[in-house]
Every structure is written in C-alpha cells, then in structure tokens.
Structure 1
C-alpha cells in the first residue's frame, strides 16, 4: 500500500534527509506503517529512525546532526502536545540556523468512520486545536498543512528549500490522519525542486570600497558570528588575515569554530564587549547577530563599519540596527575570497605593513593570560579553565566539542582553543538543554559520514550543571545506550545558576540582590544532585560515572573516562569547579 506517509518518507530520502528523530503518538498509524514498510523493503534507501523519549532531545539531535553535515534532518512529533514538547529546541534551531524539518500529525477531522484514519480514541477530541502551527510558526522559515497525498513530495521539497536556503532554519509540516492514510499512485519528483537558493557576491564597487578601507586601516577587526557553518570559511579568513597584517578576528557568537586559536590574529570569543571594538578604525561584520552590546561597548565615532550577512536585516528580530557605511546580503565565504583576491592583486592598498609583529605580541600575551587562569588553586581545587586545558590536552586533536557552559562559555572556548573547522559547536540560542541531544547528533553524524558506528571523531560535551538538568539526561543517555552513541560529558558543576545573578548585577549593581546569597536568590542547587549517577541510571548502568573535586584526582579519572568512550561506552565526569575561576 502506497500512502501519503510512505511518499513523505520517500521525499525526505530523495532530498538527502538520512535520519528521522521520532516521538510517536495516536496521530501516526500510517507513519508507523510506512516506517515498517520502508525499513523492510527499502534498506539503505530509507531514513534511519531514531526513537527519542523526549521531543527537545529529538530536535537537538537533529540540530547537531544538521549543523555538522549541513544536510537537513527530520523530527516527527505528536500533534499539538508533541509540538509544544519541542520547546526551546525550536528557538535554538531558529537562531542557530539549523535546517530541520518538523512533522506533526493533526487530530482526525472526521468522526463517524467516513475515512480511514477517522477518530478512534478519546484523546482525538482533546487534541483538536484551532491552529496548531501557531505554536512554532514564529520560529520557522515555513509552515504548512499537508492537505492531500497527491502533492506531498512537492510540499516536502518546498519546506526543505526554505530550511536550507539562507538564513537556514526549521520548517514545520503537519497533516491529519486521514490525509496521511490516503492511498496514492507512486511518483517521483525532480530533486532539483528542493535545492536551496544561492547567495551572491559583492559588487566590484563594494569590493573596492571595503578593500581600500581594510588595507588602509591601522586597527581593523573582523567580527564573525555563524559564517563558519561553511567549513571553508576559517581557512579563507586565515588567508585574509595573512594578507592584511594588522587585521584581528573576533568571534562574538561561538556558534562554530570560526578562526583558529593558534593564529596571531585570533582574539578569542567575547559576547558583545571587547576593547578592540572600541579602538578599531575599520570593522567588518561577517554573518553576526550581536557584534556588540551598546550599553557595554561601542565602536568609536569615526570607525568605518561594513556589514556583510546572509540576513543583514535580521528579519526574525523586531528590534535590530547597526550603524554601518555599507550593508550587503551576500555569501560570506565568497566575500572573503573576493576581498583577499582584490587585496593581493592590489598590494599598494595595504598601507599598514609593519603591524604583524605587534599582532604577534598581542596574541602571545593573550595566550599567556589564558594559561595563567588554567592553573589549579593552591588548595587543590580548580576552575573551568583547568578542566578545559586538561581535556584539550587529553582528547584526540580532531575532537568535536558540543559546548553549553553558560557563564563559563567564553573562557571554555578560550581555554579549549579550537583550531580545526567543525571542531566546536555552541548552542545557537538561549534554550538551555541543547548540548545533550546535540552531542548525540554530532556523534551520530560523524560516525555516519565516516563509515558507521565507532568510525567517526571523538565527541565531548562540556556542559554546566544547571544546563545538564535542562538537557533531559534521562532521555539523552538512554538514547546513547540504545543506539551505541558514546560521548564524553564534562559537567562544570558550580552548584547552581550563576547567569541570573550576573543579569541582576548588570541592572542593579548595588541593589538588594547584590549582597544576597544564592539561596536567597533562588539559584542554588544545594543539595547538589549526583549528576553522573542520573546518567548512569538512564543508561541502565552501562556508563562510566565519576565525581571529582581535586586536581590530584582529575587526570586519572579523565584518562579512564576517555578510554571508556573510545571503547564504545559513554562517560560522565562531574567536575566541581570553583565559580569565577
């Protein structure tokens, strides 16, 4: 039997979707039938189905997988409640520009058995809501209802075209049981229908103008956000920085590894405030959402600013503006190549040719400052920097990091000092709990593209304690056990939420809360849970779990954890860190 549901899965596969992360319900009888039929009859030509007991974990897995491969993936959830269960993960995929297609069923629209798929259960009345797509549509690039099976492949292709065109992001399709049960004639669709819209290059005039400004600058910086989704961008930026001796590169998003830490132009990761922003005479913004926070840091009045972005208008943000001399919707990789080629062909434009030594010196001082903060304390305790430096030195060089360290994120990045494209991923938005599912998705992706289970790169999740709880570890570590997806999880345990206090002090530095305890502020996690024990229970005991609070014990526990992960089993190392160090 060839139904709308079966054609739906065919359309996904034909468009390059290799995995469906599913949380099934009463709206999915035909979906389940199609899954069974497809896995039996079309082995190797049908999406792999991954069962996810929690919807946010499912979406985060698809997010991580899609961001590593740059190929869209699918999440299937249950009517309105499953759509709501996606929660903050839809926000993350939207702001993180992850191409994910979400499908949800609808309650049947017939009651008396008029069609196959008519209502058969009590819950079908309860889950019949006026406009289901409104739950997520403001986060989606496209949302639409499937109304017949006869054009289901066209609808999937259109949705995926939106998901993969810049700015990428999630899309939402939904359909009632009767529609998904409809029998149709098998058909094929031209794969070109799902191809994304390409971004263009800068005009010759724009290239000339920006090149002249960049070449003549004494203190130029390039601020990057999410451009390195294209893994060719970091190398292109290195070539540009080598061409312009004064240029420095600042990351103000940390979405991916945008620029290698071992290059003298590297300024690390900063959120919205850095002294180089205030002193720069030329600033290039490259695919970035928040280059600076005006209440904390502003460019100098005479700075020349050029904004190059796949989405310079930031159409999903009601309030956004940056004062810039020029704004361009263009492909960041192409633009960097254009600027480099023009400057190399017109070397006379580069007037600041003696700045390389100063840049080298500045970089060396930055690295020394970071290293000094990565030492253990005299009493044997340690901070996040110590943990990250030891992890970086112990795991394989090409390890992929999934980081959600919240208040420790900036220094975690600078201590890990990623240098390889595709080796660092951070949550695209503010929906805490991303990294658990994302780490699984990243590991599944690297294994899949390298030939199968255990053949991909080592994956390490670095997560704050509060965010670990948000990640639904009971679901994450069950999935890891079920599908054999080993990940090393490093928990930076500082016994509570520190971000709310930081936010409080930015607004009320001398207020009542400035002298309050964490218990008074309701951000303490005392008594502290056994985080690694939670993970071990979810994995039915097949997981290495350890807690460590002294530097003398850390290296041995870390070595054991890495050995376990290399052997195919996950490990969770709960590290008690001293806050602020």
Structure 2
C-alpha cells in the first residue's frame, strides 16, 4: 500500500453496533482496508464464527472470510494476494498447533518482506468462570509457555492481546509495523476470552499513518552517480526491486537516459523488461567480466563467492530497504558504498543525480557497449534453447519452459516454484512473474498462485511447480480452495519423480564419488534420499475437487495440452492441472 493510499483510509465515524471484541476486531480490519480474512478455524475462533453468523442481523461490514483447510495454504494465499495488491493481509489460525504448521510460510513471507498480520488464537486463559474459558481437554495440552517464540525470529513484532479495551491500538500498531519498510509479518495472539468480551458498540478512531519509506542519503547518491557516470560498463543488478511494479518503468527510463545496463540475479519479480536492449541477462559471471561499476539493488545474495565475484577494480555498491539483510546470520559481500532506501526512492534520486553529473551526455558510448553485451547474453540463451529443441527425447525443464513461454498470454501471472527456467522466459510487463522466496520453503507456489488469482480475477494465473513442491503444498487443500473460492488457477507440475536439487547439490560437494555412481549402479535416476517413487496420480487431486486434469508424457503433446488447460481456466473458469512427466 502506498503512503497516499494508507493515509486516505477512513478517519473514524459512526458507532458500529458490535457486541463483542471479536466483532469489533473484524469491523476494525475492514475499516483499515482489509478485504479478506484468511482463516483456519478452530475452537479459538468461536467469537469470530458468531460474528459472521450475526452479520446479516448486525449489518456490520467485515472482511470476506476465506476458509483454508491447511495453515500453509492460508499464509501462502495471503502472501500471493499481497504480491499483486500491495495491500497487507490478515491470517488467523488455530492456537499453537495452527501457528506451528504455518512457520514455513511465515519464513517465506519474512524473507520476501511481505506485510501480514499473522494471528492465532491462544488456549483459553482460565479454567472456568468467564465466557470462552476452557471447556475441552485440548485446552490444557495445547497451551505453550511461549507460543510467540515459534515465530519471534521471523516476525517484526509479536504480542498477545490482553484486553479488549486497547484492541484498536494494538491492531493499528501491528499493521503499522508490518507496513513500515522493510515490510514483513507481525504476530498477534488472540485469547478466546478476550475476543468473547462483551462491548456496547465500537467507534473506530483515526488510523495511525504508515511511516514514509526510507530515502537515500543525498551525498551517497551523488557519489554513486559520479561512479556510474565515470564508468564505461555500469550495471544495476537486481533480484527484487520489481516487488514494487512502479520501479520497472523508472529503471527503464534511467537505463535509457544514462546508458546503464540491468541484469537480474535469481529474479523473483519482473524487475526489468526481458526484451529491452539493455537487459544483460541472468549470468553473473558474464556480467562481472565487463562491469566496472555495479549497484546491487534489493539483492540478498549478489554472487556466490565460490563461483564468481566482481573484478577487484570494479566499484561495488549495495542498496535496499535493509541492505545488510540483518536477519541473515552470515552475509559478507564486498561493498564500497551501502545505501538504505526503498528501490523507487533510490532510482528517482539517482536519476536526478546522474542528470546533475551530465551523464546523459556520455550515455551513447556506454549504451552501445552494453547493448552488445545484452545481445551476446540473448544469443547465449537462444543457443541453449536451440540445442534443446534440436533433439528428441523426454520432456525436460528447458523444453517445458519453452512451451510455457510460447503459449502463455503476455499479461498472465506466472508463479514459479523451481521448474520454469527464468532466463529462458520473456517477461516485459511488471507484476507478471513471481519466483519462489529466498528461504525456499517448499509448498509456497500453489497457495501463492491462488492468492494472486484472488487479487487479479480477470487474469490468467499459471503456477509452475516441481513434484516435490506440489506435494509440500498440500494439494488436496489447495484444489479444495480453488473450487470453494472459485479460483481458476492452472497448475503445471513437472514430474520427474525426484528431488533433483538434493541430488545435484550432493554431486557438487561430492563429485565423482559414491553419490555420482549410485544412480548407475542401482539403475535409478537419482541418489539416496531424493527419489519420490512411487509418485501419486496428481491429476486426481484436481479432479477430486471438480477440476480439469491431464497427464502429458510426449513433447509433441505439451503445447496442445497447455492450450486446452488455458482454455479451461480462462473460459470455463475452472481450475486445471497438467501432470507433465519429465526427465
């Protein structure tokens, strides 16, 4: 949510006829711009259930409830909705056990700087004597001495609501901290007795303003501009600046005006148009070979020290809302200049500073050299794909990627958890590509795609996942949600019956040893601990919830199957799945 949008929220008004803190809480969320309430219901949500049951009588406007039958689904959908809407989301799960199931999703949200009011009920405080006190055996066993400790390392703030009298102040503080940059999830525990407290109406007050985003130090920006203007091959490398779609066009204007190349490092968004003549591709080694000035913008891992690094004589700067990524225990990369700023503010300030430096006057020479490098990067990518297409055989990830890029609508949203090869795809429109979070908590892709579809109902949403990531997503719960909430996502599963990352990682550490020989000696496609055989018939997960599904085993059948599936999701508005058997 932009600052001007946040400040335009309602500023108080008439008394809302709430009868409980639970009703007041839901009404406040709606007043604060929360449209959906992602919930995994439990014994702690009784006041929430009662509030929704009474809504026709009370006339109170609440967020639309989105029932989720697994906690990872709830958090992932909230994550996906934010990716598209840029509005913070609210999740409520069932006490300690529900929160525990969601920790992986919270880690993904934390590393991706996704604002989220993550809440869970708390085991009732009292054994008896109050409405909402304990009335089931589980209320003893589920209590934890420090429930918030499960997520404290991953959230920006955690608290327990102690009384209904300050519910509004606590919720506003939670939302404010979550939206303050660097954004991220916060955690609030909601005891059942507190939600059940009776109130005689509720009048929301003025919302608290969200802090303005950080802007870079002017002197540091001038130094950065001086270095870029003096360079012959300056490059901006970005991983996640496109999380704010407005930065894409700003970055294009800066690159064109001043002759600056843009490369992507493990891109998780559309950061810069793929087809732009100044897009230098995704190969860090090729970029570093020529770059004499580098700005890493919202890039958590700018290079892998054991593989490549910038030249010693190159100028290296880092920038972002949290440029040191302070939650990463070990992270040490060379930096000659480090700036704290959100991406949009930095690009705008750098544009002005480069103008002052007269960098536009010398841009032509830089642009010619950079465009030659960009052409070489595109040709290298084409050569790889041409070799793939020139031979027959089973479906590979590269072949799947080629087919996806051929058939997908250019404004479609693609959510990729591993199996699509990003450097071989063309994404020119902001907000059309989302890659798995840096934490890589498996099971993110399909829930996030469902949330993205909810935020963009008029667009095709394609989710590309590996077989392992699909299983981790709790597919029965995801397809149930697709049917229940009318979210026609197309899921493409690349099914090679193994965790390829596990096997490949083993071979990099132990090349030419036992793991390398294991597959041949045992007549299998992979090594120990990475086979998923026997793989389920994934089609049946989708079909069980009324979806369309098809298995694809031959190369020549893949494009027609993708077209049929896209027809189903865009015309019939049904969720669909392709089980692509690959190598």
**TM-score of the alignment, normalized to the shorter chain, above 0.5:** yes
Task: Tell me, in whole angstroms, the C-alpha distance in 2 between the residues paired with 1:358 and 1:278.
Answer: 13
Q: Is the CA contact (8 Å cut-off) linking 2:414 and 2:461 kept in structure 1?
A: yes
Task: Tell me, in whole angstroms, the C-alpha distance in 1 between the residues paired with 2:513 and 2:289.
Answer: 29
Match of 1:472 in 2: 474
Match of 1:432 in 2: 442
Q: Is residue 159 of structure 2 the alignment partner of residue 159 of structure 1? A: no
Task: Tell me, in whole angstroms, the C-alpha distance in 2 between the residues paired with 1:34 and 1:463.
Answer: 38
Alpha-carbon offset, residue 310 of structure 1: 0.3
**Distance 1:18-1:253 versus aligned 2 partners, 3 A rule:** farther
1:15 to 12, 25, 32: 32
Q: Is the CA contact (8 Å cut-off) linking 2:40 and 2:68 kept in structure 1?
A: yes
Deviations 1:404-431 (A, max 9, x none): 01xx45xx21222211110011222210
Task: Tell me, in whole angstroms, the C-alpha distance in 1 between the residues paired with 2:361 and 2:177.
Answer: 40
Deviates most, 299-308 or 338-347 = 338-347
Output the TM-score relative to the length of structure 1. 0.92
SS in 2 for 1:373: helix
Alpha-carbon offset, residue 9 of structure 1: 1.0
Match of 2:215 in 1: 201
Task: Tell me, in whole angstroms, the C-alpha distance in 1 between the residues paired with 2:406 and 2:562.
Answer: 11
Alpha-carbon offset, residue 385 of structure 1: 2.5
Deviates most, 126-135 or 3-12 = 3-12
Match of 1:362 in 2: 373
Q: Is the CA contact (8 Å cut-off) linking 2:294 and 2:314 kept in structure 1?
A: yes
Task: Tell me, in whole angstroms, the C-alpha distance in 1 between the residues paired with 2:336 and 2:361.
Answer: 20
Task: Tell me, in whole angstroms, the C-alpha distance in 2 between the residues paired with 1:42 and 1:274.
Answer: 61
Deviates most, 50-59 or 99-108 = 99-108
1:116 to 127, 131, 140: 131
Match of 1:450 in 2: none
**Distance 1:40-1:525 versus aligned 2 partners, 3 A rule:** farther
1:342 to 343, 353, 371: 353
Deviates most, 379-388 or 202-211 = 379-388
Task: Tell me, in whole angstroms, the C-alpha distance in 2 between the residues paired with 1:16 and 1:404.
Answer: 30
Task: Tell me, in whole angstroms, the C-alpha distance in 1 between the residues paired with 2:150 and 2:105.
Answer: 13
SS in 2 for 1:432: coil
2:580 to 567, 571, 575: 575
**Distance 1:442-1:191 versus aligned 2 partners, 3 A rule:** farther
1:544 to 548, 564, 573: 548
Q: Is the CA contact (8 Å cut-off) linking 1:107 and 1:128 kept in structure 2?
A: yes
Task: Tell me, in whole angstroms, the C-alpha distance in 1 between the residues paired with 2:19 and 2:415.
Answer: 40
Match of 2:277 in 1: 264
SS in 1 for 2:99: helix
2:230 to 203, 212, 216: 216
Q: Is residue 524 of structure 2 the alignment partner of residue 529 of structure 1? A: no
Q: Is the CA contact (8 Å cut-off) linking 2:551 and 2:578 kept in structure 1?
A: yes
Deviations 1:82-112 (A, max 9, x none): 001113111101101111111111111211x
**Distance 1:502-1:184 versus aligned 2 partners, 3 A rule:** same
Task: Tell me, in whole angstroms, the C-alpha distance in 2 between the residues paired with 1:527 and 1:363.
Answer: 44
Q: Is residue 261 of structure 2 the alignment partner of residue 248 of structure 1? A: yes
1:564 to 560, 565, 568: 568
**Distance 1:422-1:519 versus aligned 2 partners, 3 A rule:** closer
Q: Is the CA contact (8 Å cut-off) linking 1:215 and 1:350 kept in structure 2?
A: no
Alpha-carbon offset, residue 320 of structure 1: 2.0
Q: Is the CA contact (8 Å cut-off) linking 1:216 and 1:352 kept in structure 2?
A: no
What is the correspondence of 1:171-186 to structure 2 with a 5 Å cutoff?
Answer: 171-186=186-201
Task: Tell me, in whole angstroms, the C-alpha distance in 1 between the residues paired with 2:183 and 2:105.
Answer: 15
Alpha-carbon offset, residue 529 of structure 1: 2.5
RMSD (Å), alpha carbons: 1.9
What is the correspondence of 1:343-492 to structure 2 with a 5 Å cutoff?
Answer: 343-347=354-358, 351=362, 353-374=364-385, 375-376=388-389, 378-405=391-418, 408-409=419-420, 412-428=421-437, 429-447=439-457, 456-492=458-494
Alpha-carbon offset, residue 377 of structure 1: 5.3
Q: Is the CA contact (8 Å cut-off) linking 1:231 and 1:422 kept in structure 2?
A: yes
Match of 2:285 in 1: 274
Unpaired runs of 5+ residues, structure 2, are 1-17, 520-524
Alpha-carbon offset, residue 5 of structure 1: 1.1
Task: Tell me, in whole angstroms, the C-alpha distance in 2 between the residues paired with 1:574 and 1:319.
Answer: 39
SS in 2 for 1:241: helix
Task: Tell me, in whole angstroms, the C-alpha distance in 1 between the residues paired with 2:355 and 2:539.
Answer: 53
Match of 1:452 in 2: none
Alpha-carbon offset, residue 572 of structure 1: 0.7
The alignment covers a number of residue pairs equal to 557
SS in 1 for 2:364: coil
